[in-house]
Amino acid sequence: MLERENGPEGRAVRALVVEDDASINDVICSTLGGSGFLCTPAYSGTEARLLIERDSFDLVVCDLMLPGMPGEEIVSLIRKRSAVPILVTSAKAQVVDRVALLRMGADDYLVKPFDLDELVARVEALLRRSKHPTAGISDSEDLPASIYGKWTLFEDARRLEAAGKPIKLTRTEFDIVAALMRHPRKVFTKRELYREVWHEDAAVEEKAVNTHVSNIRAKLKGTGTESYIETVWGIGFKLAEIE
């Protein structure tokens, strides 16, 4: 099998595919495997939990309706342990369902039935955004940093500190903060922010962008910097002017 050589330390990208329907799981693994991914299948939430606890992955593709442990709990469990990209696949198509998953920490959501080319495209987009940081902790003093008020952003280490406190962000949340800090005077429309973060030009779901920004603000509470991201009504978001 062709192995995609763009994981940490040059190894193949390891994907955990959690799907109880064996035929769908096989198709996903075969499709990703044909694109160079090294896939490990899991057919229940319980099996996925065991694999997550004993091994590490660069990507997780996860269904919601699973025996043993629902996909929502798998997403929550993973997010407590790491910032690995998570793509949720589900027949649930309501916006409220997608928003709930994003709030739990999922990075993207694909509604079943889906096109396999779109699956690969979304996975590759997630991996481009993640840049595969290694599991080790970098010494922030040796890394270039961007400073905005009480924020210090270490892009190489994908780390944000607010008022001296490390803020644990998902990959999408971090990319939003980084985009805003790269252009501190710019007012981003939601479509522009989507293009900057997702690196693709597509119709944006405003509620998804709003959800990620809301999550960032919630994590910044207690640092006195949650107001740094300012809503420009009818347009989008920008960094607030601070003294």
Q: Assign residue 163 the CATH number of its domain.
A: 1.10.10.10
Task: Say if pTM beats, i.e. exceeds, 0.75.
Answer: no
pLDDT at 42: 96
Helix (H, G, I), strand (E, B) or coil at 222: coil
As a whole number of angstroms, the distance between CA 127 and CA 122 comes to: 9
36: alpha, beta or left? (left if phi > 0; alpha if psi -120 to 50):
left
Q: Look at residue 2 and tell me if it is in a domain.
A: no
CA distance 120 to 202: 16
**SS3 label, residue 45:** helix
- Claim to verify: residue 14 and residue 124 sit in the same structural domain: yes
User: How far is it, in rounded angstroms, from Cα 46 to Cα 52?
Assistant: 10
Q: Is residue 126 part of a domain?
A: yes
Residue after which a domain boundary falls, among 98, 130, 162: 130
Q: What are phi and psi of 60, to 5 degrees?
A: -130, 125
Question: Is 31 in the same domain as 126?
Answer: yes
Mean pLDDT by 10 residues, the chain (243 residues): 45 89 95 92 95 90 93 89 88 78 84 90 82 38 69 85 89 90 89 78 67 93 93 92 76
Whether 37 maps to a domain, the answer reads yes
Given 130, 153, 184, the domain boundary residue is 130
* Backbone angles phi and psi of 208, in degrees to 5: -65, -45
Q: Which two tokens stand for residue 85?
A: 């990209």
Pick from 175, 62, 41: nearest CA to 108: 62
φ and ψ at residue 44, rounded to 5 degrees = -155, 165
pLDDT at residue 1, as a whole number = 33
* Same domain, yes or no: 77 and 176: no
From CA 160, how far away is CA 63, in angstroms rounded? Answer: 30
Torsion of CA 168, 48, 74, 38, to 10 degrees: 50
Whole-number pLDDT of residue 3 = 41
159-162 and 188-189 as β-strands: parallel, antiparallel, unpaired? Answer: unpaired
Pair (117, 190) in one structural domain = no
Residue 3 lies in a domain: no
Residue 220 domain boundaries? 142-239
Same domain (yes/no): 50, 120: yes
The total number of structural domains that make up the chain: 2
Q: Does some domain include residue 107?
A: yes
For position 139, what pLDDT does the model report? 39
The pLDDT score that the predictor gives to residue 184 is: 85
Residue 1 belongs to some domain of the structure: no
CATH of the domain at 56: 3.40.50.2300
Residues 6+ apart with CB under 8 A from 97: 90
